[in-house]
Amino acid sequence: MKKVRIGVLVSGRGSNLQAVIDNIELGLLAAEIAVVISDQADAYSLERAKNHNIPAVHISAKGYKGKRDAYDALLVQELQKRGVELVCLAGFMRIITPVLIAAFPHRILNIHPSLLPAFPGLHVQKKALEHGVKFSGCTVHFVDEGMDTGPIIIQAVVPILDNDTEESLSTRILQQEHKIYSRAIQLFAEGRLKVESNRVSVIGGLTESNAFLINP
Ligand code: GAR
């Protein structure tokens, strides 16, 4: 099967990036990472990429305050130069602009640690605990022009326990993120994601093993 060439945009530690790398190396994911791009020079994600001989590029946002379009044009240039077909945001802490979205229509994915549309933005586990919701989780979605919006591809549900802290909840959600991001990328690679207005359906349907409702 043809491998989809992905570009991963990161800002920090890169545990989701690592999960994708590991699943590719295990032969579970028909993808190759063409480039990892960070807006932060000291992002540990860049080390992770280098450790696996993946091109790691820092594109500084210095001098681009109020010029998001110009910054995103740099991203587009780098991604296109590397032949990227699918862009994966993995803890990329910048708001992206129509410049990037127009260059990769329905070809940008994001992972977010809540059951969207609940709790977009930052500090989401804290918000979930404050609201007293009984379930949270994570979402992989196509990116549109909003913040943490866009057609939802796959979600995993994580029950919230009475003694949960922000940290314990984040840890359990992250374990599920590491599974569903690769699953969504694989469905994309297989050409099985059909987007109609705001709904994504999976051609061939979801089987029990890729439905990812409540995960053990
Ligand atoms: C992940 O929890 C991801 O869902 C979140 O940042 C973290 C990055 O962790 N992304 C967002 O909140 C996007 N709005 P990682 O660097 O270890 O993958």
pLDDT tens, residue by residue, 171-191: 999 999 999 999 999 999 999
Atom of ligand 1 nearest to the CA of 110: 13
Do the strands 152-159 and 135-142 form a parallel or antiparallel pair, or are they unpaired? antiparallel
Q: DSSP secondary-structure letter at 214?
A: B
CB 150 within 8 A of CB 141: yes
Q: Would the pTM count as exceeding 0.85? A: yes
For 17-63, what is each residue's pLDDT tens digit?
999 999 999 999 999 999 999 999 999 999 999 999 999 999 999 99
Distances (CA, A) of 45 to 36, 98, 212: 8, 25, 26
Atom of ligand 1 nearest to the CA of 177: 4
Q: Is the CB of 148 under 6 A from ligand 1?
A: yes
- Pick among 2.40.30.10, 3.40.50.970, 3.40.50.170, 1.20.1260.10: CATH of 1-105: 3.40.50.170
CA of 131 to the centre of ligand 1 (A): 21
Q: Where are the beta strands (DSSP E) in the chain?
A: 4-10, 31-38, 56-58, 86-89, 108-112, 135-142, 152-159, 193-196, 199-202
| Active-site annotation, residues | 112
Residue type, 111: I
Closest CA to 136 of 152, 151, 156: 156
Q: Is the CB of 183 under 6 A from ligand 1?
A: no
Answer yes or no: same fold for 1-105 and 110-216.
yes
What's the token pair of residue 194?
A: 């059909």
3-class secondary-structure state, position 178: helix
Band of residue 193 on the pLDDT scale cut at 50, 70, 90: very high
How many CA atoms within 13 Å lie on the side-chain side of 41? 3
Q: What is the pLDDT of residue 208?
A: 54
- Pick among 3.60.21.70, 3.40.50.170, 1.20.210.10, 3.40.1010.10: CATH of 110-216: 3.40.50.170
pLDDT score of 158 more than 90: yes
pLDDT score of 210 more than 60: no
Q: What is the pLDDT of residue 216?
A: 39
Domain spans of the chain? 1-105, 110-216
What's the token pair of residue 68?
A: 């998001």
Q: List, in order, residues 6 or more apart from 169 with CB less than 8 Å away.
A: 125, 128, 129, 136, 158, 160
Please give the Cα distance from 153 to 182 (Å, whole number).
12
3-class secondary-structure state, position 98: helix
Q: Is the CB of 113 under 6 A from ligand 1?
A: yes
